[in-house]
A = this chain, B = another copy of it.
Amino acid sequence: MPVRVDIAKRVHDHTWKLDPIVRTLLDTDFYKLLMGSMIHRLHADVNVTFSLVNRTESVRLADEVDEGELRAQLDHARTLRFGKNELIWLAGNTFYGRTQIFDPDYLAWLADFQLPEYELTRHDGQYELRFEGPWRETSMWEVPALAIITELRSRAAVRGMNRFELDVLYARAKSRLWDKIERLRVLAKEGPLKVGDFGTRRRHSYLWQLWCVEALKEGLGDSLTGTSNVKMAMELGLEAIGTNAHELPMVYAALADSDDELRASPYQVLADWATMYDGNLKVVLPDCFGTTNFLRNAPSWVAGWKGARPDSKPPIEGAEELISYWKAYGEDPMEKSIILSDGMDVDTIEASVRHLRGKTNVLIGWGTNLTNDFRGCAPSGFDGQLKAISLVCKVTEADGRPAVKLSDNVTKASGPNDEVARYRRVFGEEGVVDLPVAV
């Protein structure tokens, strides 16, 4: 059988120097831009350090991922600038039902933005990767840094595979995802289902995430709420989704000058957010320093917000706590949205949606188990290095002060021990659990 050879492609393939992982600055999560716009307006002078943390310590990242390749990808990401068409789209598109959501001043700043410098060292088989500088700049590293390391790890894992083994690997991964989607289609027939892609940071690869999002679009139809990946939302005509993250309360808390200010800081985040956004964008992230105390001490106006994203308790338990909270304030939970995004997969999606339907609006943010589930897919039978790990890029300092996260799960707590102890004393430890973290 004569094989058609695409000479240009072949020549391109054997002359390239780098196969970029991050191809545009828009290949990031939407919440980075929403938060970025607020940071730009209110905290342009704050310096924040983000650091890579591999919570799956058994995986020695520095042994699996080549340092030269890592530097080449990070350096490449620093050469990127937002495209003119991308900025026009950000300015002109409707997000969460509203136009002109971004300050023109912020968009003008984005036009000249480049990712700031990074510090990369190795210690005991792990990479120490830090980004120091203005918050509005270093914040932008979180998603590309995680995506780069995760994809380099994938590439290392498949390096020994031949064309055929790769074919089988992806055939199985596609089958695996489609089987999940068919289960979700059944779930959608029973009642309302809303699922969105939150899988950019820990995706197996850019192209694989693209396939996954197209699969959701094809398989779920109106049950797909969108994707957190801004570039893919733009290209595929989907909604860009996501609101805010722990970095906001973590930085506000670190900058607090007293225990009273510390205790008030999570609500100050919300007060500032409300000066920027409205409606469905008013989503509370209640778990940064423990959900139970957050809700108990919250000003009454917090109950009026549109939704919440419990992120570290078991999903049904976290949702029930919020429903009780809203009810206590006379709010109708059916008018609220609860976004579940902590390590969700099809089993927990089914259980949560079936339990919570009719009680509130459940929105699923499906992340790592959507875009990086290759369990049992390697044709060699060995897929150890294809197993997703719990890698995060977190705020560790703000204006020279240590940053802390407690969360509802002690396994997810971060920060220096003495600071963690102080935060626990200030916020309380009610409702905190101890669960293993998979992804």
Contacts of A178 in B (CB 8 A): 168, 171-172, 379
Contacts of A210 in B (CB 8 A): 1
Per-residue 0/1 for A1-37: is the Cβ within 8 Å of any B Cβ (1 yes, 0 no)? 1001010010000000000000100000000000000
In the docked arrangement, what's the CA distance between A379 and B174, Å? 11
A214 contacts B by Cβ under 8 Å: yes
Say yes or no: B162 contacts A235, CB within 8 Å: no
A218 contacts B by Cβ under 8 Å: yes
Say yes or no: A23 contacts B9, CB within 8 Å: no
A231 contacts B by Cβ under 8 Å: yes
A237 contacts B by Cβ under 8 Å: no
* Copies of this chain held together in the complex: 2
Contacts of A170 in B (CB 8 A): 171
In which size bucket is the chain A interface? 20 to 34
A222 contacts B by Cβ under 8 Å: no
Contacts of A235 in B (CB 8 A): 1
In the docked arrangement, what's the CA distance between A189 and B97, Å? 61
When C-beta atoms are compared, the residue in chain B nearest to A168 turns out to be B178
In the docked arrangement, what's the CA distance between A108 and B23, Å? 59
When C-beta atoms are compared, the residue in chain B nearest to A185 turns out to be B381
A167 contacts B by Cβ under 8 Å: yes
In the docked arrangement, what's the CA distance between A154 and B1, Å? 21
Contacts of A215 in B (CB 8 A): 164, 168
When C-beta atoms are compared, the residue in chain B nearest to A379 turns out to be B178
A419 contacts B by Cβ under 8 Å: no
Say yes or no: B175 contacts A1, CB within 8 Å: no
Give min CB distance, A434 to chain B, whole Å: 38
Within 8 A of B (CB), among A149-165: 162, 164-165
In the docked arrangement, what's the CA distance between A153 and B167, Å? 26
Q: What would be 21 A-B contacts, judged by CB atoms less than 8 Å apart? A: A1-B23, A1-B210, A1-B231, A1-B235, A4-B9, A6-B6, A162-B218, A164-B214, A164-B215, A165-B218, A167-B174, A168-B175, A168-B178, A168-B215, A171-B172, A171-B174, A172-B175, A175-B175, A178-B379, A182-B379, A182-B381
- Beyond A168-B175, A168-B215, A172-B175, list 4 extra A-B contacts (CB 8 Å): A167-B174, A171-B172, A175-B175, A182-B381
